[in-house]
Amino acid sequence: MSPPRIGVLALQGDVREHLAALRVCGADAVPVRRRAELDDVDALVLPGGESTTISHLLREFDLLAPLRDRLAAGMPAYGSCAGMILLATEIVDAGVPGRAAIPLSAIDMTVRRNAFGRQVDSFEGDIAFDGFAEPVHAVFIRAPWVERVGSDVQVLARAAGHPVAVRQGKVLATSFHPEVTGDRRLHRLFVEMVAGRA
């Protein structure tokens, strides 16, 4: 059986780090910048970066509507930090009109951008993660948090009293950056979700 082909949206953010982590976990990982590349993957990772910039680039590269369509049709996805923001149904403090972050509505949740503060307020620490025996060392960089989840959304981890990792069906999101820590459990979980094993 061939490994799942998982794309990493390669418009901004930790693209190389996500690709490397996915490959370690057995996926055929490829960068995605064009419609044909999106059409050719089984699943997609939306990395961190700046959610308003990524939204702008999705429009510029004519990927916004195709990505929304793939997500609506059930394509598995994982978003970290800015990726979590974009996967939401509603974004608080989305940005200035015309340059705001655009929700892709893949997880029934409301997310607040930069909820933990600005760049200087970035931090890291160990957090309990549902399903993992050991805590996850989480790196939060201008991170969002989740303010509301729908009834079908599973909260996997919390920090400062707010959800920071969630799952709805085959869509996973974290407000932190597992790709920078060397802990591959989240990427392995996503690969197993794509393969139908988790």
Task: Determine whether 81 is an active site residue.
Answer: yes
- 192 belongs to an annotated ligand binding site: no
- 26 belongs to an annotated ligand binding site: no
pLDDT tens string 151-180: 999 999 999 999 999 999 999 999 999 999
pLDDT given at position 120: 58
- 98 belongs to an annotated ligand binding site: no
- 55 belongs to an annotated ligand binding site: no
Q: Of 126, 139, 197, which Cα lies nearest the Cα of 17?
A: 139
Catalytic residue among 17, 18, 25, 81: 81
Catalytic residue among 137, 177, 187, 192: 177
pLDDT given at position 198: 58
Task: Determine whether 179 is an active site residue.
Answer: yes
pLDDT tens string 3-17: 999 999 999 999 999
pLDDT along the chain (198 residues), means of 10: 94 95 98 97 96 94 97 98 97 84 96 79 88 96 94 96 97 96 96 87
Task: Determine whether 25 is an active site residue.
Answer: no
How far is residue 124's CA from residue 116's CA, in Å, rounded to a whole number? 11
Beta bridge partners of 152: none
* Entry field: residues in the chain: 198
- State the pTM of this model: 0.95
